Chains A and B, each alone.
Chain A
Amino acid sequence: MSKLVITDLHVTVDTEDGPKEILKGVTLTINDGETHAIMGPNGSGKSTLAYSIAGHPKYTITGGSVTLDGQDVLSLSVDERARAGLFLAMQYPVEVPGVSVSNFLRTAKTAIDGEAPKLRTWVKDVNAALEQLNLDPTFGTRNVNEGFSGGEKKRHEIAQLELLDPKVAVLDETDSGLDIDALKIVSEGVNRFRAREGKGVLLITHYTRILRYIEPDHVHVFVDGKVAASGGKELADELEANGYDKYLSKAASV
């Protein structure tokens, strides 16, 4: 089972002029096995939604709830959320100097599973995951995200997704900065994850391009801190043709 329910979520961020509300009542349900795309213009609060679900300390929840299979996510620490089955693929993965990818992956896997993975199958699994994402076997010896190209960072995020096997994956602009080949490789990784039993995906993107490779069950237009419209994948086609203007003017007139 994997059901992520976001109800009337309000989030502020501290600025020099005091707290500023970014999310203004987000309501969204991702049922077992569903893929939802959230599309919106820059500054609409898409990434804030992703980071708030993951528990980034920069954001303050001022109202609403987030549950995963009925469990209150917002009362959990960042690592507890991950162990509960949430995964955030970041737009800007962070460098961790001196920590090798293989050490990092093994430490994360051990934390998620509560026990160290069996060495022989684990090495095989890691090599397979890296290979499928077209990452060199020596990739494991490199320091986490240090000196990675933009594409390598994103492919490394998806390798983690496949290895850590969460219930729900939030992908924050995983497509940004990727050329078409890299986009295909990353999309294939996400689709392999989706093919597993009951996995939820929240795909946050600025562009419709990635939706050609990852077909969503639902599309939401995100404007000014909340969902402005929801529909099927035809909504993405409409956005591709007409852009966000229609929704922006509506938001401005409110």
Chain B
Amino acid sequence: MTVTTDSVRSALEQAPLDKVESHLHPAGSYDVADHLVPTGREEIWRFTPLKRLKGLHADAPLDGRNTRATWNAPEGAKVGVVTGDEATSLRGVSGWAPNTRFTARILAEVPATLLVDVPADTEVSEPIVIDVDGTDADVTSGAHVVLRFGTHSKAVVVLNHTGSAAVAAVVEVVVADGADASVVSIQDWADDAVHLSHHQARVGRDASYKHAAISFGGDVVRMDANVTYDGPGGSAELLGLYFADAGQHIEHRIFADHTAPRTKSHAVYKGALQGEKAHTVWVGNVLIRKVAEGIETYEENRNLVLTDGCQADSIPNLEIETGEIEGAGHASATARFDDEQLFYLQARGISEKEAQRLVVHGFFNDLIRKVGVPSIEERLLATVEAELAKNVLKELS
């Protein structure tokens, strides 16, 4: 199935952008045949352990039943599964065409869409929580999710992933003009889960979008969190927090595509690694197009390596097509515990393990506060503590 609805066409044609040839973001297409099965040599796949993806990147069935989704629907918001023409019309609603085989396949093959609709001028005070619980990691499936925030609406959507499953997902987010949207995606999978996902957001004029990617569990978790802008004045805050244990591969990629003037993107991703062959990848892509004058962007990735045998890859990429920008910067750092910090704390009587615990909590605390959803903040503090118990605090009674 190739999607060529008018809404998509018009969205794509609305802002004719200059073509930027770049290996970082291959041109999109709805036609699955345009996307070869990746071999692992492609720039966008070179870090991902394809063999562990259970074929999700290639031709694994996407119609398996391996998850159970449940949700609340707080007053003001509509949550439900749509099918048929309605689902078809939502394919590419974020104004984007798939740039990978698995995303093209999901748009073409997955018949249903989980749709969250927040009507215009509606403020939903309680977070809209969608729980996705995996039931079988040997079965593969695909999912299409659309989160639509109407003009001047305000809401928080939490996607909470637990259990065992092999899932490929496309999450399209439409943040209409003046809306204030938060999307939190928690990957708290069981050890054998595989999760390949692409989150694509279109941020309207003067709208603000906060996206928080939180990854703790799963064998392989890869998420691309992308943003484009539908008008001037939009801003995006891309947050990420991850904790990789022995053998885990956790990969986060962001792409802030500044397609409109006076837009902002601010990304902060922080991760900790512990245990043999814990591997994290962060690739931060920012493209400032010719049209995007007066924009501001800053991206930052920090990794804390807690034990030997871990690998953290961290790559910020900034492509600038215009000189007329307010500010653009990036920072990346990967380090072990700072001996001076530990010495300072220990010199106040605090044991080495307790000092390490303080430092790790401190490392994440500011970021956790930025997520801005109290129930999630508490859960994250507890999760960090639980992760620490596996290694750093093992010898503490």
Give A residues with C-beta under 8 Å from B. 54-57, 77-79, 81-83, 87-88, 90, 93-99, 103-104, 107-108, 111-112, 143, 160, 164
Contact = CB atoms under 8 A, between A and B. Distances in A.
Given A57-B343, A78-B343, A104-B358, A98 B348 contact: no
Interface in B164-218: none
9 contacts: A57-B343, A78-B343, A79-B346, A79-B349, A82-B349, A83-B349, A96-B359, A99-B358, A107-B354
B272 to A, nearest CB: 13
Contacts of A112: 348-349
A97 B366 contact: yes
B346 A96 contact: no
Contact of B348 (A77, A97, A108): A108
Interface string B333-364: 00000111101111111111011001101111
B346 A78 contact: yes
B342 to A, nearest CB: 8
B4 interface: no
A96 to B, nearest CB: 5
Nearest to A114: B349
Given A94-B341, A98-B363, A99-B359, A82 B348 contact: yes
A93 B345 CA distance: 10
Interface residues of B, number: 24
B383 interface: no
Contacts of B358: 96, 99, 103-104, 107
Contacts of A90: 344, 347
B339 A57 contact: yes
B16 to A, nearest CB: 44
A56 B339 CA distance: 9
A56 B345 CA distance: 12
Secondary structure type dominating chain B contacts: helix
B72 interface: no
B5 interface: no
B362 A99 contact: yes
B359 to A, nearest CB: 7
B365 interface: yes
With a 10 A CB-CB cut-off, give which of B338, B347, B361 has the most chain A CB atoms. Answer: B347
Contacts of A83: 349
Contact of A111 (B341, B343, B344, B348): B348
Nearest to B369: A98
A4 B351 CA distance: 23
A96 B341 contact: yes
B343 A164 contact: no
B370 to A, nearest CB: 12
A204 B343 CA distance: 20
A243 to B, nearest CB: 32
B136 to A, nearest CB: 39
Contacts of B347: 54-55, 78-79, 81-82, 87-88, 90
Given A90-B344, A94-B343, A96-B344, A111 B349 contact: yes
B366 A98 contact: yes
A111 to B, nearest CB: 4
Contacts of B355: 79
A57 B340 CA distance: 10
Given A78-B346, A108-B350, A94 B363 contact: no
Given A79-B352, A164-B348, 15 more contacts: A55-B347, A79-B347, A79-B348, A79-B349, A82-B349, A94-B343, A96-B341, A97-B363, A98-B365, A99-B358, A104-B345, A111-B349, A111-B351, A111-B354, A164-B349
